Amino acid sequence: MHELSLAGGILQVVEDAAAREAFARVLQLRLEVGKLAGVELQALRFALEAIAPGTLLEGAEVLIDEPPGRAWCLGCSTAVEIAQRGDACPSCGGHWLTPQGGDALRVVDMQVA
């Protein structure tokens, strides 16, 4: 389950921000996990809950936005939304798609105290 290592990376981002900005805890953490990121959201939530006790994330509300995958179709020269890698182009049915977005995991913002 690579989501546990992702949760550890998220905690590191939070700890680095706390060192720079001098806050004691996170009240709310908002993440963006694209549909094409290859992340199981339930597993990520579980991993974040598992590592939170005793850290800045203890008791934090975690909000996760899931933007759609976007791709450029080489077949019909169209920007399209796709639900997962390997999907056909919804415009022409071709499989010549180049991902253009919705494939990242990032910390969007935090409310801190």
Q: Is the pLDDT of residue 1 over 90?
A: no
Taking only the tens place, the pLDDT of each residue in 17-74 is 999 999 999 999 999 999 999 999 999 999 999 999 999 999 999 999 999 999 999 9
What DSSP letter does each residue of 22-70 carry, written as one string? Answer: --S-EEEEEEEE-TTS---HHHHHHHHHHH-TTSTTTT-EEEEE-PPEE
Taking only the tens place, the pLDDT of each residue in 72-87 is 999 999 999 999 989 9
Q: What is the pLDDT of residue 60?
A: 98
Q: List residues bridging with 26 in a β-sheet.
A: 112
- What one-character DSSP code corresponds to residue 98? E
What's the whole-number average pLDDT of the chain? 96
CATH architecture assignment, domain 3-68+102-112: 2-Layer Sandwich (3.30)
